[in-house]
Amino acid sequence: MSETRIFLLPDLGEGLTEAELVSWHVAVGDTISVDQPIAEVETAKSTVEVPSPYAGIVAELHGQPGETLDVGKPLISVTPVGASEPAEPVTAPTETELGEPVETHPEAEAYREEEKAGSGNVLIGYGTPGGHGVARRTRAPKTSVSVLEPQETKPTDDDLTLLRTRVPGKLGAVISPLVRRMAREHGVDLGELPGSGEGGLIMRRDVEKAIHAPVAEPAKTKPVETRPAETRPVETAGAPEGVDTRTGLPIAARTPVRGVRKAVAANMARSRSEIPEATVWVDVDATALLELREGLKAGGSQVPGLLAFIARFVTAGLKRYPELNTRIETASDGSQEIVSFDGINLGIAAQTDRGLVVPSVRAAEKLTARELDTEIRRLTDVARQGKATPTELGSGTFTLNNYGVFGVDGSAAIINHPEVAILGVGRIIDKPWVVNGELAVRKVTELTLTFDHRVCDGGTAAGFLRFVADAIENPTTLLADL
């Protein structure tokens, strides 16, 4: 009797708990090999191919293109060629949340059992454990003890990283998918639930406590009689299908918010709700910078793009004003810390067919303008192809946004949480400008800096903005390393 192996959707890393199935590369009945790409999935970070850890014949495909699959759920079933062993239960490493003891409640036992059978698969795109493509299996020991009996385990830091995920919308806490499901099925509002774990992490015990908390008796009031004709369903009943009840207009389409758009929406909403932002801006005469580039072109050398020059000025400015290259962290007791970094990962906002993404140039402060130009072009290209890695998309410390390419002068941009500042560059156009007391036509652009007022005051923000503006107006002072 052949043994069918079920491959679960692997942990995608970076707190991602779901992925949209884009396409299958195999069909039922196909013979596949270890590490052969079997499907393409799209996450909130990028589009990746999923390799199979098993060789054999495809027995079943668990999902249709366009369907959203949860991490740890079946992706594909494979029957090994020539397998004859009886089927045995397959379990993956036990996943837990934190090392603290968890109180036992009968209603939560189902979740614990499911958690013990969760995915232990490797990060997609990086092969299988040990590079051999062999799935690790846990066989029942030759005793009367079942492998599903509770075991005392202490998770590692890597386990905690893989288990944590951010909830879109207003929730700033970090919780596991199983805790979210437990709360949903028991009607617990996670938005109002304080977390007892590290950094405000909402844990299973918090949900269990809410489930078993006594319900307060409502105040006794005289019941209000209502007639069925006065209820909301009667007001909207009979509305034509496909017509919006509020506006009365036909609904042209419904587009699910998912993938990159979902991640961007959640991040922008969180940024607006958590960060007390302020914006400063200045018009800049970029004539000298444009003339410098034209001179370099005339010399026959490879010339960086304007954005690379500005990126070079930004990294120099952040060295002088490091408060803008930080992050705010909030502890479980509500106290906050400003985290500074020894280095700059410069995010470059890039518009793609999948939405706005921000890949980052790592250690940007060590690169020349030419090196920055090469890396910016590479990152923009992989981002537009949907091939940027989670690390490239999630490690920035400051963002540079060139919205001038869209033909606009300025914008009060939203900070890319958890960063604390973003610099926008508008289009460069001819404008009247006073030079040495005389009116002239110059190439002018607008710089806009939006910053988190918790990390610095207006003086620091204005100092940084003026530094970058002066560098654009007098570029040779900072470009000796070209």
306, two tokens: 């304007």
* The domain boundary residue, chosen from 178, 195, 211: 211
**Do 199 and 327 fall within a single domain?**
no
Give me the domain span that covers residue 450.
272-477
**Do 172 and 296 fall within a single domain?**
no
Residue 205 lies inside a defined structural domain of this protein = yes
**Do 174 and 121 fall within a single domain?**
no
**Do 432 and 375 fall within a single domain?**
yes
| CA–CA separation, 198 and 201 (whole Å) | 6
More confident residue, 391 or 153: 391
Residue 301 lies inside a defined structural domain of this protein = yes
* 193-199 LR contacts (CB < 8 Å, sep 24+): 195/332, 196/332, 197/97, 197/98, 197/100, 197/332, 198/98, 198/332, 199/174, 199/329, 199/330, 199/331, 199/332
**Do 117 and 171 fall within a single domain?**
no
Q: Please state the domain count of the chain.
A: 3
**Do 185 and 328 fall within a single domain?**
no
pLDDT on residue 256:
83
**Could you report the per-residue pLDDT of 272-326, keeping only the tens digit for each?**
889 999 999 999 999 999 999 999 888 777 899 999 999 999 999 999 999 999 9
Residue 258 lies inside a defined structural domain of this protein = no
**Do 322 and 453 fall within a single domain?**
yes
Residue 179 lies inside a defined structural domain of this protein = yes
Residue 223 lies inside a defined structural domain of this protein = no
CATH number of the domain bearing residue 334 = 3.30.559.10
**Could you report the per-residue pLDDT of 368-384, keeping only the tens digit for each?**
999 999 999 999 999 98
Q: With 60 as the cut, is the pLDDT of residue 364 above it?
A: yes
Q: β-strand 398-401 against 346-348: which pairing, if any?
A: parallel
Residue 235 lies inside a defined structural domain of this protein = no
Query: Which has the minimum average pLDDT: 28-32, 105-109, 139-143?
Result: 139-143
Contact 167, 270 (CB under 8 A): no
Q: List the one residue out of 241, 267, 294 whose CA is nearest residue 422.
A: 267
**Do 170 and 118 fall within a single domain?**
no
CATH number of the domain bearing residue 188 = 4.10.320.10
Query: Which has the minimum average pLDDT: 229-238, 266-275, 376-385?
Result: 229-238
388, two tokens: 């940027």
**Do 319 and 389 fall within a single domain?**
yes
How many CA atoms, within 13 angstroms, populate the side-chain half-sphere of residue 335?
4
pTM of the model: 0.56
CA distances from 312 to 238, 316, 353, 357 (A): 62, 6, 28, 21
pLDDT on residue 478:
74
Mean pLDDT over residues 427-451, rounded?
96
**Could you report the per-residue pLDDT of 105-130, keeping only the tens digit for each?**
444 444 444 444 433 333 333 333 33
* The domain boundary residue, chosen from 195, 211, 227: 211
Q: With 50 as the cut, is the pLDDT of residue 133 above it?
A: no
Residue 62 lies inside a defined structural domain of this protein = yes
62 is known as an active-site residue: no
User: Taking the CB of residue 475, how many other CB atoms lie within 10 A of it?
Assistant: 22
Residue 331 lies inside a defined structural domain of this protein = yes
Q: Which of 105, 132, 212, 453 is catalytic?
A: 453
